[in-house]
Structure 1
C-alpha cells in the first residue's frame, strides 16, 4: 500500500502564492488610500510600489518574465490594454465640435510630440551614450501621453457632459498620439537595420510608415465604427442588439477592426480610436454607450492592474543596471522636456495660462511605452536594449508617482 505524503499535498504551490500576492497588492493599492483621503485612490503608483515590495518580501514567489528576454507576453497584454483604452477614450467624447477646440490637441500632436521625440533622442545620444537608433526609439517610446494611466485627467463617461478644455485636450491627445508615435518607432528600427543613410529609406518611410499607415488606420477605424454601429443599433431594426447590453459584441468588433487594420498594414491604434469616435456619434443618446464604456473600462482597469503589479515585480531586476545617468534622464524627461515641449506647442492656443500649464505637465508615461519597446524588441535586437528598459521602467515609476499623487487636487482647480 502506497503511503500518502501529506506534505506534498499541502505544500505551497508557487503559482498559487503568486496569485494570492497579486490579489493582495491590488486590494491594498485601492483600499489603503481610503484611510487618508476620500478621493479616487491613486492606485497606479501604489500597484507598482507594492509589486516591488512583494518581490522583496514574499519568499518563494515565482518571477514574472523578464521583458528583456521574454518580451512577447508583455507585448500581448500591453497591446490589448492599449487597444481597449484607446477605444474607450474615443467613446468618452460626447461632442467633437466646434472644431476650434481641437486646436490645442493639434498643437500637442504636430508640435509637442515631435519636439519631445527630438529632444529625448538628443538627450539619449549625448547624456545617455545611446546609438542613433536607440536614441530615436527612446524618443518615440517615451513621447506619447499614455491613454491607460491618463484616465484621471480625461473627460468623464459618455452622456456626462462637462468636458472641460483641459480634460478634452488631454483625452484627445492620449487617444491619438500613441498611433502617431508609431512612425518614429519604425524609424528607430529602420535606422538600426539600414544605418543613418536617409537616401536609402527616407522616401519609403514617409510614404508607407507615415502617410499610408496613418490614412489606412483612420479609414478602417471610421468604417469599422460605422459598421459596428449598424450591427448594434440598426440591423435588425425590430430587435436592436444594443438593447441587450451585450458589450462583448462591441469588444469583438474592436478586435476585428484592430486586427483587420494591421493585416492591411495600417495603424491599429489609430483605427480603434477612430472607431470609438465614430461609434459614439451613432444613436448618441442611447444608454448602451454608457454601459459599453463602463464594460470596457472594467476590462482596461483589470489588465492595467495586472501589468503594473508585474512591472513592479520586475523593476528590481531591471534596476540592477540602474545608474545615476538613467535617473537624471528620466527626471529631465518628466520635469523638463515634456512640460517645456507642451508649453511651447500651446503658445497661441485658446487655453488660459493655468490650463496650458496643467496640460503641459500632466503627460503621464505608461503602458504604451511598454508595448512599443516590446514590439521593437521582438523585431530586432538593439545595442542599448538594457538601457532602454531601465529608462522606460524608471520613467513609468516616476511619472505615475509624481502625477498620480498630485492629479486629484490639480484637477479640482480647473473646476473652480
Structure 2
C-alpha cells in the first residue's frame, strides 16, 4: 500500500516542495515582464517630461535591479555575446535612424543644413583624432585599437538623443539646436563607419603586410558612402511614390498602416548592405526622401508614431541589458586612467570640438554651447565597438567594453539629468513656453 506522502503532489510540511510547485514558468515570467516593459514605454515619457530625469536613466536602474536578483543567473556582458550584441544594437540604430529622418521638416540644402554638416565634417573627425591620441598615448592602447575606440565614441547617438531632437513631423518644433542634433545623429552613424573600417584595415595590414590605403579610400570611403546615399535616395523615392503617388485606389497611404515605415527601414538597410554600401546612411537618406515625397501628408505622423514606439521598446530592452551588464562586472577592468579619459572625452573633447565646428555659424552663444555639450553617446557606440571587435583581432576587449560602457553611463547620467532644464531654459530664451503642449 502506498503511503499518503507518495500519492500527494504537494506536502506542506516539506518546505522544498513549495518553491517547486509554485515557481512560475520562465515563459510566463518573460511575458509578464514584457507587459510591464510596454506599459513603461507608454507611460514613462509623459511622467518624466518635466523632471530632470530621462527614460534611459530609469531603464538602466530597472535593469540593474532586475539582474541583481539571485534567481537571474544570466550575465548580459557583451564579451560573452559578441554577435548578439552587434546585431541587437544594429537593429535599434536603424529603427532610430528611420524615426529621426521622418520627423525632420527642413528640406535638405547645404546652407539650411550647415549646422549639422559642420558637426559632421569638422567636429566628428576632430573628436575621433583626439580620442585616438588619448587612447594611444594616455591609455597605452595600440594605435589601431585607439582608432577603433575613437570611431566608436565620436558619433552622437540617434537612439538616446530623443530629448534633444526635433518633435514629430509637422510639429514645427525645429529650432536650430534640435535640428542640428537630430541631423547630426542621423548622418554621423554613416560617416563614422569609414574610420571603423580604417582601424580594421590597419589591423589586417599589420598582420599580413598587404597594402590597405587604396582599397580603404576606394571602397570604404568613396563607394560605400556614395552607394549608401544613392541607394537610400532611390529606395526613398520608390516608397514615396508607392505611398503617395500611385493611383488613388492602391496607394499605400490609403491603408493608414505605419508599418510601411518599418518595411522601408528593412528594405533600405538590407539592399544597401547587399551592394556593400553603408546601410545606416541609406536608412536615414531613405527616411528624408520618403518624408519629402509628400511633406504635408498626415500619414507621416502615423508612420513616425509607430517607428518611435518600436524604437522606445527596443531601446528600453537594450538598456535593461546594459544595466544588467553593469552589475555583472562590465566596468571591472577599468583603470583610473580609463575613468579620467572618459571624463575628458565627454567634458573636454566633445564640447571643444563642437565649438570649433561651429565657428562662423550664425547662432548665439547659448545655442552653440548647447549643440557642443549634447554629444550623447549610446547605442551607436555599442554597435561600432561590437562590429570592430568582431572583425579584427584585439587583446583586452573587456577593457574596451569597460571604457565605452563608462562613457555611455556617464553620458546618460550627465545629459539625462541636464537635458530638461537646459532645453526648457533655451525655449524660454526664444520666447516660447516649454509647458505648452
Do the structures match in fold with TM over 0.5?
yes
1:323 aligns with 2:335: yes
Q: Distance in 1 between matches of 2:215 and 2:47?
A: 56
Aligned with 1:376 (options 388, 398, 401): 388
**Structure 1 partner of 2:362:** 350
Distance 1:34 1:82, change over 3 A: closer
Deviation at residue 227 of structure 1 after TM alignment: 0.3
**Structure 2 partner of 1:79:** 90
Do the aligned residues in 2 keep the contact of 1:104 with 1:351 (CA within 8 Å)? no
Higher helix share: 1
**Structure 2 partner of 1:239:** 250
Equivalent residues in 2 for 1:6-405, closer than 5 Å: 6=10, 7=17, 8-13=20-25, 17=29, 38-39=50-51, 42-56=54-68, 58-96=69-107, 99-195=110-206, 200-316=211-327, 317-405=329-417
Do the aligned residues in 1 keep the contact of 2:261 with 2:307 (CA within 8 Å)? no
Give unpaired runs (5+ residues) of structure 1.
Answer: none
Deviation at residue 319 of structure 1 after TM alignment: 1.7
Do the aligned residues in 2 keep the contact of 1:148 with 1:366 (CA within 8 Å)? yes
Count matched residues: 415
Moved runs in structure 1, 4+ residues, more than 3 A? 1-9, 12-41, 196-199
Q: Distance in 1 between matches of 2:56 and 2:42?
A: 9
Higher Cα Rg: structure 1 or 2?
Answer: 2
CA shift digits 1:80-117 (9 cap, x unpaired) = 11101111111111122564232221111111100000
Q: Distance in 2 between matches of 1:105 and 1:410?
A: 20
Q: Distance in 2 between matches of 1:345 and 1:35?
A: 35
Distance 1:36 1:354, change over 3 A: closer
Q: Distance in 1 between matches of 2:285 and 2:9?
A: 59
Distance 1:20 1:333, change over 3 A: farther
Do the aligned residues in 2 keep the contact of 1:130 with 1:384 (CA within 8 Å)? no
Do the aligned residues in 1 keep the contact of 2:50 with 2:420 (CA within 8 Å)? no
Q: Distance in 1 between matches of 2:30 and 2:251?
A: 43
Q: Distance in 2 between matches of 1:361 and 1:198?
A: 41
Q: Distance in 1 between matches of 2:389 and 2:223?
A: 24
RMSD of aligned Cα (Å): 2.5
